[in-house]
Amino acid sequence: KAGVTQTPRYLIKTRGQQVTLSCSPISGHRSVSWYQQTPGQGLQFLFEYFSETQRNKGNFPGRFSGRQFSNSRSEMNVSTLELGDSALYLCASSSGGRGTQNEQFFGPGTRLTVL
Amino acid sequence: AQSVTQLGSHVSVSEGALVLLRCNYSSSVPPYLFWYVQYPNQGLQLLLKYTSAATLVKGINGFEAEFKKSETSFHLTKPSAHMSDAAEYFCAVSDRGTYKYIFGTGTRLKVLA
């Protein structure tokens, strides 16, 4: 099976712009989670989508949003970018269903730099 | 609410020495427990997982972890460190009811020649 893919791998934006990141999960996986990783804050959970519905949410401002499509692919959007949004954004997929072990499989990440 | 605590943000060991990375969780019901490893500029890779089948879990690259309910711990060990083990290690729990995934703050392992 192909692994989790994320596009683009690298992105440079300026303050005030918006950005959309994409994640394609492992075939058959219905859950997609997004994380922000920075040297100062570590790995922080943004949100999780399961079968096109947001199932869990972290403590990020409303500038961070996401969605999931019927094929389980997910996108994450950040509006009005700030310098502090510079980070590695990781996507993880899992089967996510009831009774599963919820093992997550991670993509390589998208490195976002905000200038 | 569940939480995960990793003691020691940085751990240094000599090549060939024992690796011990500590993880404690708080939960009234034993959750699913995981250890992940992250090499520079890469995503996280699963090392091993505890799912209640056995308290001693063996993973990839010679790592293993023991689930101790009485201590609410899931420490990661490897008998002999290799230079290639230098990476950041994350402990995580998954709530069986909400499916929420919680990561620890990570431990960066340095292996000295």
pLDDT at residue A99, rounded to an integer: 57
Under 8 Å CB pairs connecting chains A and B tally to 57
Q: What are the pLDDT digits (tens) for B48-74?
A: 998 777 889 999 999 999 999 889 999
- Give the CA distances from residue A37 to residues A41, A50, A56, B27, in Å, rounded to whole numbers and listed in that order: 7, 22, 18, 25
* Mean pLDDT of the A26-30 span: 93
- At residue B87, does pLDDT exceed 90? yes
pLDDT tens per residue across span A50-102: 999 999 899 999 999 999 999 999 999 999 999 999 999 999 999 877 656 67
User: Which of B48, B95, B100 to probe by mutation at the A interface, max A CB count within 10 Å?
Assistant: B100
